[in-house]
Amino acid sequence: VSTFDRFARNYNEGHEKAVRATGYSPAFFHEYKVLEVAARLEREGFASRGFKLLNYGCGVGECDRFLRRHLPAARILGVDVSAESIAVARESNQDLPDLSYCHLDGSSVPSDGKFEVAFIANVLHHVRRDLRPGVLASIRDTLAPGGLLFVFELNPYNPGTQWIAYQNDYKFDKDASLLRPGLTTRLLADTGFVPEAPRHHIFFPGQLSRLRGLEKHMEKLPLGAHYSVVARVP
Ligand SMILES: C[S@@+](CC[C@H](N)C(=O)[O-])C[C@H]1O[C@@H](n2cnc3c(N)ncnc32)[C@H](O)[C@@H]1O
């Protein structure tokens, strides 16, 4: 039984509470990530052709509504080790087209061919350190050559993020530990990906959201609440 099985039915409520002090809603955090991915894929020319996207560790499927909305050309598969989370995701998103789910029960990710894109958001810090290379290797194996992986993680250099993770993630998941951006990049490189430099996101709380326009100029500053790394399969 996965740690997240116990929280699947009230995951959203817990998430809402956890991020309340930031002045942003959980939906805000899901959507900004998907918009980052969509902007990059647009530049790569994916918007105009069909492609397959793997959402690894999709949880209860909260990002999937936004993936569906902002990436209309994608066929999406969400996978997770938590069977209960997958059940909730299936229920909540049953009305969305070209979106399916699969519980990972030790077997490999099912696919009728390779994925062009993979997305893994706030998952790695819940994976035991010694298992992280295996998780990344399994994602690499499902991606086609030239495929892109988008990793989003919480930034341990941001005191607000540390505080929220300490209050929440660390309490219910004894294996949780935040990954420094350099560690994520190194793990990706060690697994055969070609990672780009991390980009840093979310510097201002919701109460100062009018300053958000500045954030795109701050991406190199390693103090944002979150960061992302784009990595390519050679
Ligand atoms: C904090 S939740 C994030 C869910 C979702 N990605 C999101 O951003 O809303 C972390 C998820 O990672 C999943 N997870 C943890 N270890 C995993 C593994 N080895 N393989 C697949 N999923 C995993 C958990 O079951 C949980 O659903």
- The residues, any chain, with a CB within 8 Å of residue 173's CB and separated by 6 or more, are 3, 126
pLDDT in tens, 196-218: 999 999 999 999 999 999 999 99
Using 50, 70 and 90 to split pLDDT, how confident is the model at 168?
confident
Task: Look at 59-68, 71-80, 86-95, 158-167 and tell me which has the smallest mean pLDDT.
Answer: 158-167
- pLDDT at residue 107 is higher than 80: no
- pLDDT at residue 32 is higher than 80: yes
Task: Look at 106-110, 154-158, 206-210 and tell me which has the smallest mean pLDDT.
Answer: 106-110
Rounded to 10 degrees, the C-alpha dihedral 219/222/225/230 comes to 60
Please list, residue by residue across 87-118, b when 16 or more beta carbons sit within 10 angstroms of its beta carbon and e when fewer do: bbbbeebeeeeebebbbbeeeebeeeeebbbb
Q: Which residue's C-alpha comes closest to atom 20 of ligand 1? A: 81
Query: Do residues 204 and 225 lie in contact, with contact meaning Cβ atoms separated by under 8 Å?
Result: no
Place of tokens 């994916």: 46
Distance CA 145, CA 43 (A): 18
What helix, strand, coil percent values describe the chain, rounded to 5? Answer: 45, 20, 35
Instruction: Give the residue among 226, 200, 228 at the shortest CA–CA distance from 214.
Output: 200
CA of 123 to the centre of ligand 1 (A): 4
Average pLDDT of the residues of the chain: 95
Which phi and psi angles does 102 have, rounded to 5°? -150, 135
DSSP-derived pairing of the beta strands 194-195 and 143-154: unpaired
Task: Look at 72-86, 110-124, 141-155 and tell me which has the smallest mean pLDDT.
Answer: 110-124
State which of 1, 4, 228 you would mutate to test the pocket of ligand 1, scoring each by most atoms of that ligand within 8 A of its C-beta: 4
Q: Which residue's C-alpha comes closest to atom 14 of ligand 1? A: 57
pLDDT in tens, 51-67: 999 999 999 999 999 99
pLDDT of residue 26: 95
Cβ of 140: how many Cβ atoms within 10 Å?
Answer: 18
- pLDDT at residue 220 is higher than 80: yes
